[in-house]
Chains A and B, each alone.
Chain A
Amino acid sequence: MQELAQAVVGGLASGGIYASLALAIVLIYRSTGVVNFAQGEMATFTTFVCWSLLHHDVSKWLAFGLTLAIAFAGGVALERTIVRPVEQASPAVVVILTIGLLVGLNGLTTAIWSAEVKEFPSAFPERSVEVAGVPVSWQDIGIVGVTLVAVAALAVFFRYTKLGLGLRAAAVNPEASRLVGVRVGWMLALGWGLAATLGALSGILIAPIVSLEPTMMQGVLLYALAAAVLGGLDSPVGAVVGGLALGVGINLLGTYVDAVDANLELAVALLVILAVLLVRPSGLLGRPAVSRV
């Protein structure tokens, strides 16, 4: 019983990290119809920026805050300079661009900070507490908590602010959005900024667990993609549900099925992607694709 509870809590924690990166992927997918494969490398890059800040004796929380702000500005800048010129091009072109960005950013990260593994401090205390007789680490509680707060903040932003309304409008009907005065180009850039911020958040959360290195997010990106596909690529709520479900599912498999070790867990993520695409391509909470004839 205790083993089960611990496996679930641990799964929720890794699921929270998948969820925040999956949410970043969904944000960009909804507004552009394209999966940003560079999302993981963007997160790694910003986490290294955070490491450098910490290395230069910036205090922990200030460094985290600065990193999120830098990630936002970086995401906006990337959209304006690199993505904007191919905005009108076919999705295939944009996807290839994001893959190019993945490779380029990875090279840049390695060039600046080297491939050497670095220690990264956790935002949360190393102790654990007992919840209903089960020891739960602050780390796990913190990750799940931060993810839920980020998701709730985003939901409020999208639902109740004018900017959030503009973002939603630009995503569903860019043409009509222009007519009511929404600056659609800036909304896309803002979407990239928010996605980059969420990515940085997931990087900061996971770096203490897996240690910081240039390839840190590559596995996480696959889990996040699986989570986004599972929840429905156009559904923010789906991304979170998908992320948490995937985290718990994989942790349970790893705990109770001896055949599934750490190396096979990634394969499970790929199987999830494949199965969802075959059985229910729109995901658990996504809208089925309908095209008007």
Chain B
Amino acid sequence: MAPLLELSAVSARYGSVPVLHDVSLTVDEGEIVAVLGANGAGKTTTLRAISGTVRRRGAIAFAGRRIDRHGPAAVARAGIAHVPEGRGTFSELSVRDNLRLGAYVRNGGFAEDLERVAGYFPWLAERGNQPAGTLSGGEQQMLALARALMAQPRMLLLDEPSLGLAPVVVAELFRIIRELNERGLTVLVVEQNARLALDAASRAYVLETGRVALAGTSEELARDESLRRSYLGY
């Protein structure tokens, strides 16, 4: 069976600075796949290349269709929800408006979607009128995830979800991500915290200066001591 997402020799640059070189990776339907690597290795850019928020070359196929010429709005409509680093919530807008924006690409069904998403984040419903910027960091990350789910995506791109959050919040976040995955959502997650990511993911890619340096199952990568020390830093 063809993978749900397939990147073949994807390159990207910011202005004249190349950041990604011929990155190829696949994600099968129902998988959690992690992208690991040091700061500046190109992890965030990989996600941005997929969602079309950076200029890219190469082939990107999602569910059998090429999306490498799609803009971000079209990628979102195709069923990929991207939760950017730093959350990308609309801090001036209310929690409810943030969730409405999550469902922007869908027509109707807002109430049912809200109910479904509130199942994972029960506190969201009571705080609908609060400006998103007044939530705590952990709540904002949860809101960003909830907003992404409102679009009923087939695939979730998560960029550093654990960044700046307390361990107990991170644990709760990954518990929800696993639960979503068990219900069929495919996840591609970028993490600095390699141990956490390998724990949740079935496979991982390690990026180094914009290239795929290594790829393997989480067990293989976690077992390899020298790799852990040189690339993953734990």
A residues near B, CB below 8 A? 162, 165-166, 168-169, 172-173, 175-183
Contacts and interface: CB of A to CB of B under 8 A. Distances in A.
B89 A172 contact: no
Contacts of A173: 88, 90-91
Contact of A181 (B90, B97, B104): B104
Interface stretch (B21-29, B69-77, B183-191, B195-203): B69-77
B53 A168 contact: no
Given A165-B97, A165-B100, A182 B73 contact: yes
Interface in B112-130: none
B97 A168 contact: yes
Contact of A175 (B53, B71, B73, B81): B53
Contacts of B84: 175-176, 179
B97 A183 contact: no
Interface in B121-146: none
Given A165-B101, A179-B53, A181-B104, A172 B92 contact: yes
A166 B104 CA distance: 8
B51 interface: yes
B63 interface: no
B93 A183 contact: no
Interface string B79-112: 0011010001111110001001110110000000
B157 to A, nearest CB: 9
Given A172-B91, A179-B53, A179-B88, 10 more contacts: A166-B101, A173-B91, A175-B84, A175-B88, A178-B72, A180-B102, A181-B77, A181-B105, A181-B151, A182-B101
A175 B51 CA distance: 12
Given A162-B104, A176-B88, A179-B53, A168 B93 contact: yes
Interface residues of B, number: 24
7 contacts: A162-B104, A169-B97, A173-B88, A175-B84, A179-B88, A180-B76, A180-B151
The 7 A-B residue pairs with the shortest CB-CB distance, nearest first, are A181-B76, A181-B105, A176-B88, A178-B72, A181-B73, A172-B92, A179-B82
Instruction: Determine the main DSSP class of A at the interface with B.
Output: helix
B96 to A, nearest CB: 10
Contacts, number: 60
B80 to A, nearest CB: 10
Given A179-B82, A181-B73, A183-B73, A165 B104 contact: yes
With a 10 A CB-CB cut-off, give which of A169, A175, A180 has the most chain B CB atoms. Answer: A180
A166 B105 CA distance: 11
B147 interface: yes
A289 to B, nearest CB: 13
Nearest to A178: B72
Contacts of B73: 178, 181-183
Nearest to B88: A176
A180 B91 CA distance: 15
Nearest to B77: A181
Given A173-B88, A176-B88, A176-B89, A182 B71 contact: no
A37 to B, nearest CB: 26
A178 B76 CA distance: 9
Given A165-B100, A175-B84, A180 B105 contact: yes
A177 to B, nearest CB: 7
